[in-house]
Amino acid sequence: MRVANVFNLGVKELFSLLRDPVMLVLIGYAFSLAIYAAATAMPETLHKAPIAVVDEDRSQLSTRIIDAFYPPQFSAPSLITREEMDARMDAGLDTFALAIPPDFQRDLLAGRQTEIQLNIDATRMSQAFTGNSHIQTIVSNEITTFLKRYRPDSGQQVDLALRARFNPELNKSWFGAVMKIIDNITLLSIILTGAALIREREHGTVEHLLVMPVTPFEIMTAKVWAMAVVVLAATTASLYLVVEGALGVPIEGSVPLFLAGTALHLFATTSLGIFLGTVARSMPQFGLLTMLVLLPLQILSGGTTPRESMPAPVRGVMLAAPNTHFVMLAQAILYRGAGFDVVWPQFAALFLIGCVLFAISLSRFRKTIGTMA
């Protein structure tokens, strides 16, 4: 291998990418608006959920319960009548409708059994699932606080001191921003390398490379480093401008260490992109193959669902995927401020997986080049 050939071919790839406005827009969107949207609109986040209250008690306790619902989790409660409740929910005006019965406070103080009705528009699945538990907690806390003023406190109480490590605000945007960057690094690295190979095949420039004094190893290495540099640059800009700047997410660990791990991950995923590019015969086929590969990588890597919640066979199989180790590495560095002494097993795993994928992809690439020759 000649280093000059690898460098010049890589520069050619960069110029080819610069002449592709669709890819440039995709890169810009994936590391800016997509990160911001994923962080601020997490599906399980309860934000300004519309709620209405039927207050037939008109007591001090019912007023306390109504006042406990406020932004940003809920919109200001709308006071309605029982006749309006079903009509408003049918019209989609309210996700939650809370009905407080008459004599609710009196029955509680007298020790009689009573209940509050909560109607939920379950077609709004994400808000309905999360808001249900929020409303139950709010109502229970208000009732408990109110009754403590009128009933003696019987029994010994134990206070649970909650200490949230690494994310003291329990802010879902901190999680969403970093995990979206991890997903988009994998997405772009596979798409850019695979699309570059298919684009050359469709434009006929592969034949031009075959008559040049370059080897398949040099061609593939050039594509790997060029696309990896693009994704690394976009990742760095996104971390500082979007995650830390626009979203205000604190990064605890070393960004250079994270970028070093990202480079190893890109070594594996760009090789995978080359492999998919040799298997697919057209861009639509490549898109379908990418979907089949990306979905398991992202869903089963531990970024969406903790690995401990997965079946043991799935956990074992996913140890062969680079995403699994990259998610562990990224979370340890960016969330918990881990150093190399903690994440070196993930670095080693990414290097080994990258070498295997590179060798397999190179073998497939040589066969593909041979058939074209």
Q: Which residues are CB-contacts of 30 (< 8 A; sequence separation ≥ 6)?
A: 184, 187, 188, 234
Residue 161 lies in a domain: no
Mean pLDDT score of the chain: 86
- Give residue 310's domain range: 3-41+170-372
**How high is the pLDDT of residue 58?**
92
- How many domains, the chain? 2
pLDDT tens profile 148-195: 875 555 555 666 677 777 777 777 777 888 888 989 999 999 999 988
Residue 101 lies in a domain: yes
Q: What is the CATH number of the domain that holds 62?
A: 3.40.1710.10
Residue 152 lies in a domain: no
Which of 57 and 214 is assigned the larger pLDDT?
57
**Same domain for 31 and 58?**
no
Which of 371 and 232 is assigned the larger pLDDT?
232
**Same domain for 55 and 124?**
yes
The H or E element that residue 282 is part of is none
**Same domain for 177 and 60?**
no
What's the first-to-final CA gap in the chain, in angstroms? 20
pLDDT tens profile 310-337: 888 988 999 999 999 999 999 899 888 8
Q: Which residues are CB-contacts of 221 (< 8 A; sequence separation ≥ 6)?
A: 1, 6
**Same domain for 331 and 211?**
yes
**Same domain for 193 and 235?**
yes
Choosing from 116, 147, 178, the residue where a domain stops is 147
Q: What amino acid is encoded at 289 in this protein?
A: L
Q: What is the pTM of this model?
A: 0.76
**How high is the pLDDT of residue 155?**
53
Whether pLDDT at 207 is above 70: no
Residue 33 lies in a domain: yes
| Lowest mean pLDDT across 43-47, 78-82, 152-156, 296-300 | 152-156
**Same domain for 230 and 123?**
no
